[in-house]
Amino acid sequence: MTDIRYLAPNTLDEAIGAFAAAGSTARILAGGTDLLVQMRSGAVKPGLIVDIKKISEMTTIEETADGTFRVGAAVPGAVLAEHPRFGKVWPGVLEAVNLIGSTQVQGRASAGGNLCNSSPAADSVPALIAAGAIVTIQGPDGRREMPVEKVPAGPGRTNLKPGEILVSFTLPPRPPGSGDAYLRMIPRTEMDIAVVGCGVSLTLKDGVCTAARVGLGAVAPTVLLVEAAAKALVGSKLGDAALNAAASACSAACRPIDDKRGTIAYRTKIAGVLLKRTAAIAAGRAGRN
């Protein structure tokens, strides 16, 4: 006998009404690749499960005339990969989303779930922070927006208020000469959790970096926006001095833990190494756009 309820509403208003009314034991079900594992292990015992995949705004990808992308919070990685344009405009965000789990997990897992699960090592989050993505959140008091980097509050905790649901990501239009990339350090080639993850998005004009953003994962309780690293890149031609300064800024931003995946010293060093490699890929892509 169980006292769990399952709802799959067709509208956001219904979902929020039920989610807010059910209180702290309610859980949102997007792809379920984290929630079902947590339920199985007994870590989470939901009183109400609200499946949001029947709400079209949650599962659609839109590109507007000005080049803005709006990606529903429950869009699975495999669906994002099949979009004819998204991966061309945001290859770094796509490669980060597609690194989450296996082919089977990609059939279900979403960037919204990855963000709300709030793991410091979430692969999609550094790339979304680098992209300058904004999330739309809806709750009992209406809609609001928040930069991605403001969503995680700590491991497993977000800054969403009770009853609020993450609806979508908005990625800004890309100026010409822009590129992004995501790299993670793992000890094997596939199916692992990042020891460090680094997302870089930048814009080049005549070889000079005119804009940059850097996201860094698995080196602090939340994924970080590293403004000092971006500052070191902007105005430079991405030469050794600028890259070394940006790498040092990444290492300086680290507040990691020692665990079985990596030590504090290792993570701190690798953060800088990954910044340089990721920036090089992003710059290569920017040069082709």
Interface residue list for other proteins (CB under 8 A): 1-6, 8, 29, 31-33, 36-37, 39-41, 46, 49, 51, 53, 76, 78, 101-105, 107-108, 190-191
Cβ 103 to other proteins, closest distance in Å? 5
The closest of 223, 276, 222 to 249, measured between CA atoms, is 276
Cβ 106 to other proteins, closest distance in Å? 8
Cβ proximity to other proteins, 5 vs 255, nearer residue: 5
Cβ 68 to other proteins, closest distance in Å? 27
The runs of H, that is alpha helices, within 56-160 are: 56-59, 77-82, 86-89, 91-98, 103-106, 111-117, 124-130
Cβ 30 to other proteins, closest distance in Å? 11
The closest of 117, 152, 109, 122 to 43, measured between CA atoms, is 117
Cβ proximity to other proteins, 37 vs 153, nearer residue: 37
Cα separation, 163 vs 113, whole angstroms: 16
Cβ 165 to other proteins, closest distance in Å? 18
Q: Which token pair is 46? A: 């939901």
Q: Which token pair is 137? A: 């959140």
Cβ proximity to other proteins, 101 vs 272, nearer residue: 101
Q: Which token pair is 169? A: 């990501």
Cα separation, 31 vs 109, whole angstroms: 5
Cβ proximity to other proteins, 32 vs 120, nearer residue: 32
Cβ proximity to other proteins, 105 vs 273, nearer residue: 105
For residues 137 and 116, the answer to whether their CB atoms sit within 8 Å is: no
Sign of CA dihedral 89, 84, 148, 274: negative
Cβ proximity to other proteins, 83 vs 150, nearer residue: 83
Rg (CA), the chain: 19
Cβ 114 to other proteins, closest distance in Å? 14
Q: Which token pair is 210? A: 């005119």
